């Protein structure tokens, strides 16, 4: 039997698909290391147990599958019917029996992967709308999922660290966060320096200004801080509150 492969021939997109598949395997490994009883424990996200994180990641895969189907068929299928429906779905998913919750994660991830695999070249450029109301090409769903699986693996509080996340993911995450702050005028004048990635230059609204608020550390620490995950070992700015992201 011949193995089925991605229909896309775009090398950059294929690299992103490989990265998200690695992230999915990393996420699944951290989930499977947890016993059913440990799923009841707290995550690193305030107010959420590990069950809530699993439910969120599982339903996120289903939501992204809807966007890819939208791109493939032209039939509008939003990620969620409303923010309230999304929150209710996560709350419900957290109450599922452990076996059902694990099955949700596994099945939803496989379904999304199949949908990506069978998306023809032309459809990847079709525009869809995210839950935040952004209009983006279908290729954006790959990054959206990369962000979910890598970062939420850390949120499980099961030994994963930001230093385990590929630099490519951390770099794009940091740019996304700082871009969001700039777009919503949330940046109080930050000068963000990444010590092990000088090619990024200074980021933030205060970049290049001596009066800016300095935040400095390695890529993993700065991305952890910027994304709202406390405890980052920054070289400077450890006491600076990060603006809200999403």
CB-CB contact of 57 with 149 (8 Å): yes
State the greatest distance between any 2 C-alpha atoms of the chain, in Å, as a whole number.
64
Q: By three-state DSSP, how is residue 160 classified?
A: coil
pTM of this structure = 0.94
pLDDT in tens, the chain (246 residues): 445 799 999 999 999 999 999 999 999 999 999 999 999 999 999 999 999 999 999 999 999 999 999 999 999 999 999 999 999 999 999 999 999 999 999 999 999 999 999 999 999 999 999 998 999 999 999 999 999 999 999 999 999 999 999 999 999 999 999 999 999 999 999 999 999 999 999 999 999 898 889 999 999 999 999 999 988 899 999 899 888 887
Say if residue 163 is exposed, middle or buried (CB neighbours under 10 Å; 0-12, 13-18, 19+).
middle
Domain boundaries, the chain: 11-160, 167-227
CATH 1.20.120.450 fits 11-160, yes or no: yes
Nearest one of 193, 187, 246 to 223, comparing CA atoms: 193
d(CA 169, CA 201): 17
Nearest one of 54, 73, 63 to 111, comparing CA atoms: 63
Q: Which two tokens stand for residue 89?
A: 């779905």
Q: What is the DSSP letter of 211?
A: T
């Amino acid at each position: 039997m011949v193995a089925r492969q991605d229909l896309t021939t775009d090398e950059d997109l294929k690299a992103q698909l490989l990265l998200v598949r690695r992230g999915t395997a990393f996420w699944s490994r951290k989930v499977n290391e947890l016993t059913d009883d440990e799923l009841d424990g707290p995550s690193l996200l305030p107010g959420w147990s590990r069950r809530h994180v699993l439910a969120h990641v599982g339903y996120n895969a289903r939501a992204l599958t809807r966007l890819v189907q939208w791109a493939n068929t032209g039939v509008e299928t939003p990620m969620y019917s409303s923010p309230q429906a999304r929150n209710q779905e996560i709350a419900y998913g957290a109450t599922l029996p452990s076996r059902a919750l694990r099955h949700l994660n596994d099945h939803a991830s496989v379904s999304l992967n199949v949908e990506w695999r069978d998306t023809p070249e032309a459809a990847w450029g079709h525009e869809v709308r995210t839950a935040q109301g952004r209009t983006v090409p279908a290729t954006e769903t790959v990054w959206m999922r990369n962000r979910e699986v890598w970062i939420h693996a850390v949120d499980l509080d099961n030994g994963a660290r930001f230093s385990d996340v590929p630099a490519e993911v951390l770099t794009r995450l940091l740019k996304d966060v700082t871009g969001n702050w700039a777009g919503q005028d949330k940046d109080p004048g930050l000068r963000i320096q990444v010590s092990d990635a000088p090619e990024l230059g200074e980021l933030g609204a205060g970049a290049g200004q001596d009066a800016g608020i300095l935040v400095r550390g390695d890529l993993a620490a700065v991305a952890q801080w910027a994304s709202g995950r406390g405890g980052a070992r920054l070289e400077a700015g450890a006491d600076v509150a990060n603006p809200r992201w999403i």
